[in-house]
Amino acid sequence: MPKGKRKERYNIMRKENYATFKEGFIEAICRELSARGYQFDTTETTVTKVNNTYEALTITPVGKNIGVNINITEMYSFYEDEETFEEVVRKAVEVTEKGLGNTEIMTSVDNGLITDFDLMKNSLIMQIISADDNAELLKTVPHKTIEDMAVVCRFVLAHEPLGSVLVTNDILKVMGISEEQLFEAAEEIAPQNEPAIVTRLSEMLMNLMKVQGVPDECLPPMEEEQLYVANNPSGFNGAGVLAYPGFLKEQGERFGSFYVLPSSIHEVLILPDSMATDKDPEILKAMVMDVNSGVLDPKDKLTDNIYHYDAESGIFETGEKYVARCSKTAAMG
C-alpha cells in the first residue's frame, strides 16, 4: 500500500477510535462525578486558547455561571500513550475536582466582578504570544503587535495555583471600555503586579539546583556570563516583560545592543552583542528552533525567530531584519 494511502487509512482509524473513546469517556466522567455527589450540567465545545485548540467537555455546577473544561483531545492522547481508560478517567476527575474547588475564580465570575473594569483592572498582567500561531484567537482578542508577536492582556483571578482569564473583545464590550483604555491600564499596572526580573542564566540555574537540594560543594563553577534571563516573579508569562514601557531601553542602557532569544512564553534570553561577536544570527535562530521542536511543550512556544534591540537607534526587530539593515548600511557606507 502506498505511503499516502497508509497515512490516510491511519487517520481514518484514529478518528473512529477517538469518537468511540470520546463517547465512553463522557459517560464515565458523568457517572463518576454523579457518584461523588456533584450536580452539574455538561456542554461539549471547541476551546481556542494560546497555542492550543481542543475539544472539551464543560462541567458546570448547577446554579453557577462558570464551569471546568476537561480537555478530551489531551485525554485521548494519554490513552494513546498506553494509559488505561480507567487511569485517564481518574486523571480527568482529579482535574475537574481541583477546578471546581478553585473558589477564587468561581466567586469572581459568579459575583460579576469580571464585568467591572474598575474592580478588575488592578489584576491585569500582559502576555506575549506568537501572532502567526494564534491568528484565529487574535480575531477575538484585543492586542498589540511587536514584530511577529502579539501582546494580550489577562486578569489574574487566583494565585494558588495561578489562574487567569484572557481579556477578549466580548469582555471589553461588557465592561464598556476601549482597547486603548485596556492597554493604558495594563502598561501601568502589569509591571507592578509582575515586575521584570533580569538575572544571569548561571545564577538562575545555580539557585534552581540549590532549591532542588544540590549541596554547595557539588555546584558547578561560575563561568564567564553570556546569557541573561528575563522573566517575572511568578515564572508565568514572563516574556510579557518585553512589552513593558521602557524595558528594552533600560536593558540597552545596561548591556548596550542585544539579541533576544525567545525560550518560551514564560521567559526570554538576552545575549548582549558584546558577548555575541562570534555568534551568527542564523546559528542563534537554529538553536531556538531546536529547543522549540525537541524540548519545549508546544503550549509554551513563543516563536522560532530571534530578535535584536539596537541601543543607539532604539529599534527592536527580528534578527533577519537586523542583518538586512546592517548589510544595507554597510553597502551605503
Domain boundary (101, 130, 163) is at 101
Domain boundary (78, 101, 124) is at 101
Q: How many domains does the structure of the chain reveal?
A: 3
User: Which set of grid coordinates corresponds to residue 90?
Assistant: 481518574
Q: List, for residues 60-86, the tens digit of each pLDDT value.
A: 888 877 778 899 999 999 998 888 999
- Structural domain of residue 311, as residue ranges? 197-231+246-332
Q: Do residues 180 and 129 share a domain?
A: yes
Q: List, for residues 259-275, the tens digit of each pLDDT value.
A: 999 999 999 999 999 88
Q: List, for residues 165-213, the tens digit of each pLDDT value.
A: 899 999 999 899 999 999 999 999 999 999 999 998 876 554 444 444 5
Q: Do residues 203 and 180 share a domain?
A: no
Residue 88 clears pLDDT 50, i.e. is over it: yes
CA-closest candidate to residue 25, choices 97, 74, 75, 60? 75
Report the percentage of the chain scoring pLDDT > 90.
Answer: 57
Residue 129 lies in a domain: yes
Residue 241 lies in a domain: no
With beta carbons less than 8 A apart as the criterion, state whether 189 and 121 touch: yes
Q: What is the pLDDT of residue 268?
A: 96
User: Which set of grid coordinates corresponds to residue 117?
Assistant: 473594569
Q: Do residues 90 and 21 share a domain?
A: yes
Q: Do residues 187 and 201 share a domain?
A: no
Q: What is the pLDDT of residue 173?
A: 93
Angle at 207 between CA 202 and CA 213, to 5 degrees: 130
Q: How confident is the model at residue 333 (pLDDT cuts 50, 70, 90)?
A: low
Q: What is the pLDDT of residue 203?
A: 65
User: Which set of grid coordinates corresponds to residue 113?
Assistant: 466582578
Q: List, for residues 97-119, the tens digit of each pLDDT value.
A: 888 876 555 555 544 567 789 98
Q: Do residues 154 and 225 share a domain?
A: no
Q: Do residues 292 and 203 share a domain?
A: yes
Q: What is the pLDDT of residue 278?
A: 62
Q: Do residues 282 and 313 share a domain?
A: yes
Q: Do residues 214 and 311 share a domain?
A: yes
Q: Check: pTM over 0.85? Answer yes or no.
A: no
Q: How confident is the model at residue 5 (pLDDT cuts 50, 70, 90)?
A: very low
Q: Do residues 184 and 204 share a domain?
A: no
Q: List, for residues 287-318, the tens digit of each pLDDT value.
A: 899 988 888 899 999 999 999 999 999 999 99
Residue 130 lies in a domain: yes
Distance CA 154, CA 143 (A): 11
CA-closest candidate to residue 130, choices 119, 145, 118? 145
Q: Do residues 189 and 203 share a domain?
A: no
